[in-house]
Structure 1
Amino acid sequence: MSATSSHPGSSFGHPAREEGGVEQQGDRSRSPEESKNDGLDMSGSGRPRTSSFAEPPGVPGAGAAAATAPVGSAAAVGSSTGKSGVPQASGTSSSGCSNLKLARDSGKVTTVVATPGQGPDRPQEVSYTDIKVIGNGSFGVVYQARLTDTQEMVAIKKVLQDKRFKNRELQIMRKLDHSNIVRLRYFFYSSGEKKDEVYLNLVLDYVPETVYRVARHFNKAKSIIPIIYVKVYMYQLFRSLAYIHSQGVCHRDIKPQNLLVDPETAVLKLCDFGSAKQLIRGEPNVSYICSRYYRAPELIFGATDYTANIDIWSAGCVLAELLLGQPIFPGDSGVDQLVEIIKVLGTPTREQIREMNPNYTEFKFPQIKAHPWTKVRFSH
């Protein structure tokens, strides 16, 4: 039943941080409301990450508006259709953020000294213009800009840098190089308004759409997403996961909002590595990770020794959502989600529970048989 036992071998909240090998998830205490919604996971080992400039955890569809678009995606109202048939944004909108200097100045050219994302650390001047805000979250903002030398569009993700910790997202992205993963072109640091305030800026590929927005386009039109889209998207998602897992990296926040799509080519790129981590056997991890609806059962059970297979579970949830037109395992709490999972997969065995978290072996679950695969029918 768990991602660990069922399978062989991813908005932008606060990125997980490291200090002395111990994972630090955020820097504030969890609110009573967050704890109330945890369900079975009451370990207090972390906090839910907000969606990558989309809706809050557990509320997909609550309004992925222009100012709440994923990293590297277009923030638009309305849609049209690209050459490949993939719904395409028809306009963009910028928005402000009180704690950061945000502006749109199409005539201004900004020049910074940046380090290439891959290869030797050879800082170079990089100039960009046409800057506008396309998304913001609790801990940063994302801009769209145009490189002056190549005229290419890029996304610049700006996050507050805590000098006490290494930025895990930067470390991981510098080692990744795959056609289905958003590329880190450059990175540079900038000063903030306050004394000693430093921001890390990640210059990334700009990709205009997301799987979430494509699926929502078809849902609003009361039509079914073509199965060819589902196949193409899922193939590319699993390619990206196979690659990062081969590098020992677990994304830990796979969801439609973090799957960027080029409407002209249908190429998918996995983005937002703010929760990603290089998993090390024997080293504990936070269990309150991954966005609600896409959390593997072992995470709901509070496991801290999980594997990268939690990404596979999340990917399966994405697949089911594309076919059904809605999340397969919704719920406002861990208990709610577990009930939905049991309705489909049946009551977990004692051995499955032990593999997920031995502390729950005596927990009483309703005895429900797995839903027969012969009776599985999708809306199309």
Structure 2
Amino acid sequence: MSQKDANKVVTVVAYLCQGDKSKEISYTDAKVIGNGSFGVVYQARLLETDEIVAVKKVLQDRRFKNRELQIMRQLDHPNIVQLKYFFHSVGDRKDDVYLNLVLEFIPETVYRVARRYARQKETIPLLFVKLYMYQLFRSLAYIHHKGICHRDIKPQNLLLNPATAVLKLCDFGSAKVLVRGEPNVSYICSRYYRAPELIFGAVDYTCQIDVWSAGCVLAELLLGQPIFPGESGVDQLVEIIKILGTPSREQIHEMNPDYREFKFPQIKPHLWSKVFRPRVPSEAIQLVSQLLDYTPSKRLEPLDACLHCFFDELRQEGTRLPNDRPLPPLFNLTPYGEYLNFTIIISIIMLINCVILQYICLFFTDKKLLLYCQAILKHRQHV
């Protein structure tokens, strides 16, 4: 793109994320900030608000609705990148139509931040690991509750605001609403973060593939490098077996009931405590072990991960960022969270089952109330 093209003002009729209303928007200062097989991402400035946005431009197949657009129009969460507008444009060839998603612009990614620490032979400070992972699990709890599986969780798709430590999940180009019994492609998700059931060719998998990927991200932040750096699809399984050991027939059956090849060398699992440096806290290692399990149903649900003791520091009064700013909002309301005052909680708490209580905990704004509910939850799980 030439400087002249970058400085020109582009005016289009765009649709708002919610509803069918359209409005004219103008943007300028467009420059390419990313590209791939999906298309191109531009950074641009909206003239009306002077706001910096990202514009993701992808070739649209006229025969189908764009799945990414359909999914993003359903989403409204503080830890998911916001879709502001969308519009269509024509390409150089007369039949080419492009979908343009106008998204909020977030300047950094977990991937780039982690690489900077790695170049200095350091790991990301533990408080940041907790902040990033908690917000990731919170976003996963939200989309999984809607039946949406992201299918490409990796550090590159975790946007960061370095000043506030707010994390936002992005790139729903591979996302899909999973329906039990309906087949899905198994060749999905970036290799280092690909769940073993996908490597075994499963087509009836669940949203727990995202949990495996999140476990890989957590392990990578603690290690300073990918935990399973496979050089191919098969080698990826080898890297997993090196640490988790050879999966049993029962585990393979749960990953993919149709898999019939069982000729694997018998490798014993590695102790998780030996995988990480001695200074990595035991609760972090425990959380990793509960995420990276061969059996999908045994992996922690994202909401359970949010309640893990590894994140207790985030719930403590007085915890602040290293720059002395307050923590980002971690317990703020979402459209699915409704504030319940303390009196109401007291009156109904014994009538609620643990699952509902967990969902309430995720969306409270009041930290003390959150801690109270979590304490009750822990008590109920042990009675």
Instruction: Indicate whether the TM-score tops 0.5.
Output: yes
Listed as ranges, the matches of 1:12-161 within 5 Å are: 96=1, 105=5, 107-118=7-18, 120-161=19-60
Equivalent residue for 1:322, pick from 198, 202, 221: 221
Amino acid at match of 1:331: G
Amino acid at match of 1:108: K
- 1:277-308 CA distances to partner (integer Å, 9 max, x unpaired)? 00011100000000001000000000000000
Equivalent residue for 2:119, pick from 208, 220, 224: 220
- Structure 1 residue 325 displacement after superposition: 1.0
Q: Distance in 2 between matches of 1:371 and 1:222?
A: 24
Q: Which residue of 2 aligns with 1:288?
A: 187
Q: Normalising to structure 1: TM-score of the pair?
A: 0.71
- Structure 1 residue 270 displacement after superposition: 0.4
Q: Does 2:76 match 1:177?
A: yes
- Structure 1 residue 138 displacement after superposition: 2.3
Listed as ranges, the matches of 1:189-204 within 5 Å are: 189-204=88-103
Listed as ranges, the matches of 1:199-348 within 5 Å are: 199-348=98-247
The count of corresponding residues between Structure 1 and Structure 2 is: 279
- Structure 1 residue 376 displacement after superposition: 3.9
Q: Distance in 1 between matches of 2:166 and 2:7?
A: 31
- 1:75-127 CA distances to partner (integer Å, 9 max, x unpaired)? xxxxxxxxxxxxxxxxxxxxx5xxxxx76645422111000012x21111111
Higher relative contact order (CA closer than 8 Å, sequence separation 6+): 1
Write 1 or 2 for the structure with the bigger share of helix: 2
Amino acid at match of 2:188: I
Amino acid at match of 1:171: Q
Equivalent residue for 1:367, pick from 260, 266, 275: 266
Does the 8 Å CA contact 2:222/2:276 hold for their aligned counterparts? no
SS of equivalent to 1:321: helix
Amino acid at match of 2:35: N
SS of equivalent to 2:191: coil
Amino acid at match of 1:277: K
Q: Which residue of 1 aligns with 2:373?
A: none
- After the TM superposition, which of the residue ranges 348-357 and 301-310 deviates more from structure 2? 348-357
Closer/same/farther in 2, CA of residues 296 and 139 from structure 1, 3 Å limit: closer
- Structure 1 residue 361 displacement after superposition: 4.2
- Structure 1 residue 226 displacement after superposition: 0.6
Q: Which residue of 2 aligns with 1:357?
A: 256
What is the CA RMSD across the aligned residues, in angstroms?
A: 1.5
Task: Give 4+ residue runs of structure 1 displaced > 6 Å after superposition.
Answer: none
Q: Which residue of 1 aligns with 2:319?
A: none
User: Which has the higher Rg, Structure 1 or Structure 2?
Assistant: 2
- Structure 1 residue 377 displacement after superposition: 2.9
Closer/same/farther in 2, CA of residues 285 and 106 from structure 1, 3 Å limit: closer
- Structure 1 residue 139 displacement after superposition: 3.7
- Structure 1 residue 214 displacement after superposition: 0.2
Does the 8 Å CA contact 2:223/2:276 hold for their aligned counterparts? no
Q: Distance in 2 between matches of 1:361 and 1:103?
A: 58
- 1:35-81 CA distances to partner (integer Å, 9 max, x unpaired)? xxxxxxxxxxxxxxxxxxxxxxxxxxxxxxxxxxxxxxxxxxxxxxx
Unaligned runs of 5+ in 1: 1-95, 97-101
Using the aligned pairs only, state the percent identity: 75
Q: Distance in 2 between matches of 1:211 and 1:149?
A: 30
Amino acid at match of 1:257: Q
Closer/same/farther in 2, CA of residues 154 and 375 from structure 1, 3 Å limit: same
Q: Distance in 1 between matches of 2:3 and 2:216?
A: 38
Closer/same/farther in 2, CA of residues 220 and 379 from structure 1, 3 Å limit: farther
Does the 8 Å CA contact 2:107/2:160 hold for their aligned counterparts? yes
Q: Distance in 2 between matches of 1:103 and 1:115?
A: 28
Does the 8 Å CA contact 1:182/1:271 hold for their aligned counterparts? yes
- 1:215-261 CA distances to partner (integer Å, 9 max, x unpaired)? 00101112221111111000000000000000110000000000000
- 1:180-235 CA distances to partner (integer Å, 9 max, x unpaired)? 00010000001111112111000001000000000001011122211111110000
Does the 8 Å CA contact 1:258/1:271 hold for their aligned counterparts? yes
SS of equivalent to 2:128: helix
